[in-house]
Amino acid sequence: MLKYISKTVWILSFISLLTDTASEMLYPIMPIYLKSIGFSIVLIGILEGFAEATAGLSKGYFGKLSDSSGKRVPFVQIGYALSAISKPMMAIFIYPIWIFFARTIDRFGKGIRTGARDALLSDEASISTKGKVFGFHRSMDTLGAVLGPSLGLVYLYFYPQDYKTLFFIAFIPGLLAVFVSILLKESKINHGDQKRTVPLFSFLKYWKESPEAYRKLVVGLLFFTLFNSSDVFLLLKAKESGLEDTAVIGIYIFYNLIYALFAFPLGILADKLGMKPIFISGLLIFAAVYFGMSISTDLYLFIALFFFYGIYASATEGISKAWISNITYKKDTATAIGTYTGLQSICTMLASSLTGLIWFQFGSKAAFLLTATATLLVAIYFLRVPKPAAE
């Protein structure tokens, strides 16, 4: 099956692996580090919310700019470079305003590269191989989420609380990703109309111009996102049930390992059976996991639930983008994916706020049951969404 994976897909996947290794190395310790330099929980929340909003809005804009200019590679290279630079900045500058700047630079980089990168992946696949290509990329990307926290834990085992040095270490794989991005070549096919300027919110016009199938699909995806809060809540539930910190982080690494192992095989399966049935199966697994989380207190049950949570992610994350690229015009791929992922970022912020509020008012069980029930309704909605014409 690797014969369908072109040189460009290999390069993009390796870049994502290195970048995710750098980012996820810092993921478990970021809140601890911020508190150690004087950030309150409220300020951390504002920081993350602002950073995600920046990423969300910029994904749509730069996706549209990529399509309009007919360029992909510069957006990918600049985006990954900004994310790499932000790592040491977080350690060098400790004042809140500079931390905000560094964190925003990281998310801004993600916004710049996302639409163009996914359009490059789409260009390297045919209708019948989109699942394989996006699935392979997700597998490599998520492998970084296994390597990063593992390396971070090993370092902190030998050098407890030496957080600043870890930020400099994380700069190394990030910098390697930038060097690897130099190997990327621009596609010979020019999709753009060479517009020099693109209004800031022009990508929102795409919603009116987009195919009906795209709008129906994205409405369902965004409604699901409104109830799909941050993975932090799953880890908090495990912690609430009495698991030690090392067990919680270990389960998080285990989840990412399952995700990495199954994303490519499920992408292959989606090419054979269709994006729609695999995606709906992923939603049903997600609902079952959240129902299980509402009652789980046992370590072994948590391990089983996070195993299936990894399967859910494998069946939905890359496949949703592959599905979008199959029902939109090639010249609009970056705009279509950028618009979706941008709106998705905003919905994720709202979802985490909603889940946190319900958890605070009614407890974790109510929060998980609501999410599971809403997901079943989304699955029913997707049964009515037409599958791509080519499938």
| CATH number for 14 | 1.20.1250.20
In a domain, 199, yes or no: no
Largest CA distance in the chain: 58
In a domain, 248, yes or no: yes
Render 164-181 in DSSP notation, one character per residue. Answer: HHHHHHHHHHHHHHHHHH
What is the total count of domains within the chain? 1
Tell me the average pLDDT across 261-285.
94
Q: Which residue has the tokens 């800031």?
A: 200
In a domain, 193, yes or no: no
In a domain, 390, yes or no: no
Q: Work out the end-to-end distance of the chain between its first and last CA atoms, rounded to an integer number of angstroms.
A: 19
In a domain, 197, yes or no: no
Closest CA to 20 of 221, 203, 238, 263: 263
In a domain, 262, yes or no: yes
Q: CA quadruple 14, 16, 17, 18: dihedral positive or negative?
A: positive
pLDDT above 90 (res 379): yes
275 or 385, greater pLDDT: 275
pLDDT tens, position by position, 287-332: 999 999 988 777 788 889 999 999 999 999 899 999 999 888 888 8
Owning domain of residue 111: 7-183+204-383
In a domain, 80, yes or no: yes
Q: How far, in Å, CA of 284 to CA of 62, rounded?
A: 33
Distances from the Cα of 77 to the Cα of 68, 74, 86, 339, angstroms: 18, 5, 15, 20
Instruction: Give this prediction's pTM.
Output: 0.86
pLDDT tens, position by position, 19-76: 999 998 887 777 777 777 777 766 776 777 677 777 777 888 888 888 888 889 999 9
In a domain, 324, yes or no: yes
| Mean per-residue pLDDT over the chain, rounded | 86
